[in-house]
């Protein structure tokens, strides 16, 4: 399995990242190296093995429907680069 | 022209669950709180926090699954749906992809011609809501994340609806079921019930589906029907002109009555789902399912049929009375409290609820349970009408008093001396007096102006403050007026 530069561009776009041509080449090469390494796992026969979505063998960890503590609006907004109390402020999303 | 085409609609319905807390953290779900006040590090998507599932959500979803004939999966997992939007702080929505908790169900809808149709339910899964973006400002978008993490179920139907009417019926049935179950308030205007539609058309006889579009932003029942009709017509027109339909998402604009294509988002559908490593699997065994089965109330379709057979009500009445569970239960409680139980008094109770009570709750936008008129008191009022103690007209005045002060009808009747006057000799005395005082009107009546009976009835009512039994008044009047001829 390997990825093309087109696929790397696609993934970058989904992650809202932009790179120049040299970076793209580099990342494509690096990602392929990683994929090739992981490829080794394919040597194992996994027929009849259920995919594992969780490494801990636990099920049904729940909380009851009881209201707990919240944090204040001030605290919530504290880490954001831009705000207009009591809202977070971001560049316009739609026109 | 449209007859050559067949419509194919599938709906995705999102219901906000009526839990006290969010899906994966203990923040309250209260609607209308100050912006960004129902938040904590978990729903704000801070690094390193761990979501823990609210059990109530699983209970509610299983309940909905059972009520819609679904198979409940004994093992289900959560997945991350990845996309970037400012109102989704984590950069992914926790949802279910493989192994949803409910699948392969169906509900029955009723068509115009009284026949029924089965609409398949592909799946019902649990997920969390996103926050709210406010785009009113000129240069910025404001974000309120109170709604982030509020639990939702998404109910996905099979593409089995063949008209906007059927889609409307299906959506109404879903709303009715979730509100009967008490798991969602079903309010489309406030967004606690939301609906997206997948729409395509094809020539009748074709076997394959043509390209579908997705219609969103239909925030009322009326809008759903209108938006679908608009989109069906748009697609047919394109094909008739020899053009093709492109796969896209359209947003319904309720002010302009048009569906506008959303900006192209060719990559947006690449959500890169993968199992959420922060959440463990949910395993549901028979015992759990059986416990929930016991809590399923009588569902609307069954109740409707029972009202027709048990109370001999017309289908229309039964439909109106069973639309909401509260109203249906109010009716049944009224019936239970009646002294005189027969199809006539049942119909009388139905009439009172349909005309008077439903009018009031619609005007005042309150639940029937919040009215001061209790079912037991309504039953007393209906008994008083059916045993002739009061007239239907007086009953309306008493009802108005009951609405205001919640008093029992008998108390009002006694206090105001409103008992219907049915004593024939007394009524006859009054009528004799009126006829004596109005000889010229009597003459005109006898000459053929029969509509003057109304004048005499009016006079009797004036003298008795509306308490005279109208049936007896009419009998005696006619006897006296006609006898002398």
B293-330 per-position pLDDT tens digit:
999 999 999 999 999 999 999 999 999 999 999 999 99
Contact A63 B36 (CB under 8 A): no
The pLDDT confidence band at residue B485, using thresholds 50, 70 and 90, is: very low
Q: What is the mean pLDDT of residues B479-483?
A: 83
Asked if residue B449 has pLDDT above 90, the reply is: no
| pTM summary value | 0.85
A81 touches chain B (CB under 8 A): no
Instruction: From chain B, pick out residues whose CB is under 8 angstroms from the CB of A78.
Output: none
Using DSSP's 3-state secondary structure scheme, residue B314 falls into: coil
Q: What is the pLDDT of residues A4-44, one digit of tens each?
A: 999 999 989 888 899 999 999 999 999 999 999 999 988 99
| CA dist., res. B196 & res. B224, Å (int) | 9
Name residue B283's beta-bridge partners: B75
Q: Which of A73, A76, A83 to mutate: most B Cβ within 10 Å?
A: A76
For chain B, how long is the longest CA-to-CA vector? 100
Average pLDDT, chain A: 90
Residue percentage of chain A with pLDDT more than 90: 66
Greater confidence (B134 vs B28) lies with B28
Distances (CA, A) of B157 to A9, B125, B171, B179, B276: 35, 12, 10, 18, 25
| CA dist., res. B153 & res. B175, Å (int) | 13
The residue of chain A with its CA nearest to that of B265 is: A14
The pLDDT confidence band at residue B171, using thresholds 50, 70 and 90, is: very high
Q: What is the pLDDT of residues B175-192, one digit of tens each?
A: 999 999 999 999 998 899
Asked if residue A69 has pLDDT above 80, the reply is: yes
B139 touches chain A (CB under 8 A): yes
| Strand spans (E) along B204-338 | 213-216, 249-253, 258-261, 274-275, 282-283
Residue percentage of chain B with pLDDT more than 70: 98
Q: Which pLDDT does position B2 carry in this prediction?
A: 53
Instruction: From chain A, pick out residues whose CB is under 8 angstroms from the CB of B56.
Output: 64-65
The pLDDT confidence band at residue B484, using thresholds 50, 70 and 90, is: low
Distances (CA, A) of B143 to A82, A92, B130, B136, B137: 11, 11, 11, 11, 12
Q: What is the pLDDT of residues B211-263, one digit of tens each?
A: 999 999 898 999 999 999 999 999 999 999 999 999 989 999 989 999 998 86
Q: What is the pLDDT of residues B77-88, one digit of tens each?
A: 999 999 988 999
Q: How far is A18 from chain B (nearest CA, A)?
A: 15
Asked if residue B451 has pLDDT above 50, the reply is: yes
Asked if residue B387 has pLDDT above 70, the reply is: yes
Q: What is the pLDDT of residues B257-281, one digit of tens each?
A: 999 988 655 545 689 999 999 999 9
Report domain extents, chain A.
5-42
Q: Which CATH class is domain A5-42?
A: mainly alpha
**Run of H or E residues at B311:** helix B300-311
Contact B53 A62 (CB under 8 A): yes
Fold of the domain built from segment(s) B424-481:
Arc Repressor Mutant, subunit A (1.10.10)
Name residue B214's beta-bridge partners: B198, B249
Q: Write out the DSSP string of B391-429.
A: -HHHHHHHHHHHHHH---HHHHHHHHT---B--HHHHHH
Asked if residue B66 has pLDDT above 90, the reply is: yes
Greater confidence (B148 vs B404) lies with B148
Instruction: From chain B, pick out residues whose CB is under 8 angstroms from the CB of A70.
Output: 27-28, 37-40
A74's CB contacts (< 8 A; 6+ apart) are A85
Report domain extents, chain B.
5-292, 300-416, 424-481
């Amino acid at each position: 399995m390997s990825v093309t530069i087109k696929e790397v561009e696609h993934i970058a776009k989904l992650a809202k990242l932009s790179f120049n041509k040299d970076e793209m080449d580099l990342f494509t090469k690096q990602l392929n190296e990683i994929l090739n390494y992981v490829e080794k796992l394919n040597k194992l026969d996994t027929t009849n093995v259920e995919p594992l979505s969780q490494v801990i063998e636990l099920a049904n960890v729940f909380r009851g429907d009881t209201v707990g503590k919240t944090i204040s609006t001030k605290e919530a907004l504290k880490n954001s680069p831009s705000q207009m109390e009591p809202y977070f402020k971001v560049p316009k999303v739609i026109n | 022209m449209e007859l050559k085409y067949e419509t194919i609609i599938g709906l995705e319905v999102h219901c906000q669950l009526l839990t006290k807390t969010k899906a994966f953290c203990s923040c309250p779900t209260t609607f209308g709180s100050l912006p960004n006040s129902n938040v904590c590090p978990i729903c704000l998507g801070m690094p390193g926090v761990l979501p823990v599932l609210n059990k109530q959500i699983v209970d509610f979803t299983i309940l909905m699954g059972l009520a819609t004939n679904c198979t409940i999966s004994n093992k289900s997992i959560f997945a991350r749906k990845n996309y970037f939007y400012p109102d989704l702080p984590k950069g992914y929505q926790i949802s279910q992809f493989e192994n949803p908790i409910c699948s392969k169900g169906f509900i029955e809808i009723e068509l115009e011609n009284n026949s029924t149709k089965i609409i398949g339910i592909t799946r019902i899964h649990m997920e969390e809501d996103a926050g709210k973006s406010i785009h009113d400002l000129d240069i910025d978008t404001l974000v309120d994340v109170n709604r982030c993490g509020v639990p939702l179920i998404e109910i996905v139907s099979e593409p089995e609806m063949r008209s906007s009417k059927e889609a409307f019926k299906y959506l109404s049935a879903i709303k009715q079921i979730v509100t009967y179950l008490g798991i969602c308030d079903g309010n489309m205007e406030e967004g606690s019930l939301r609906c997206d539609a997948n729409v395509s058309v094809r020539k009748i006889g074709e076997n394959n589906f043509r390209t579908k579009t997705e219609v969103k932003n239909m925030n009322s029942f009326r809008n759903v029907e209108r938006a679908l009709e608009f989109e069906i017509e748009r697609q047919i027109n394109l094909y008739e002109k020899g053009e093709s339909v492109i796969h896209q998402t359209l947003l319904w604009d309720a002010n302009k009555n048009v569906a506008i294509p959303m900006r192209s988002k060719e990559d947006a559908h690449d959500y890169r789902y993968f199992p959420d490593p922060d959440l463990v699997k949910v395993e549901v065994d028979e015992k759990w399912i059986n416990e929930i089965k016991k809590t399923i109330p009588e569902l609307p379709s069954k109740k409707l049929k029972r009202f027709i057979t048990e109370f001999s009500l017309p289908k229309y009445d039964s439909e109106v009375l069973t639309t909401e569970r509260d109203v249906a239960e109010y009716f049944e409680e009224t019936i239970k409290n009646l002294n005189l139980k027969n199809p006539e008094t049942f119909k009388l109770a139905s009439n009172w609820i349909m005309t008077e009570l439903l009018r009031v709750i619609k005007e005042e936008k309150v639940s029937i349970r919040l009215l001061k008129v209790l079912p037991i008191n309504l039953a007393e009022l209906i008994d008083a009408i059916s045993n002739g103690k009061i007239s239907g007209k007086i009953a309306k005045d008493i009802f108005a008093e009951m609405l205001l002060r919640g008093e029992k009808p008998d108390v009002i009747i006694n206090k105001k001396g409103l008992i219907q006057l049915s004593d024939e000799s007394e009524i006859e005395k009054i009528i004799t007096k009126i006829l004596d005082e109005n000889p010229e009107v009597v003459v005109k009546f006898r000459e053929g102006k029969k509509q003057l009976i109304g004048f005499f009835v009016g006079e009797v009512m004036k003298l008795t403050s509306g308490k005279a039994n109208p049936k007896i008044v009419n009998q005696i009047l006619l006897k006296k007026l006609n006898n002398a001829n």
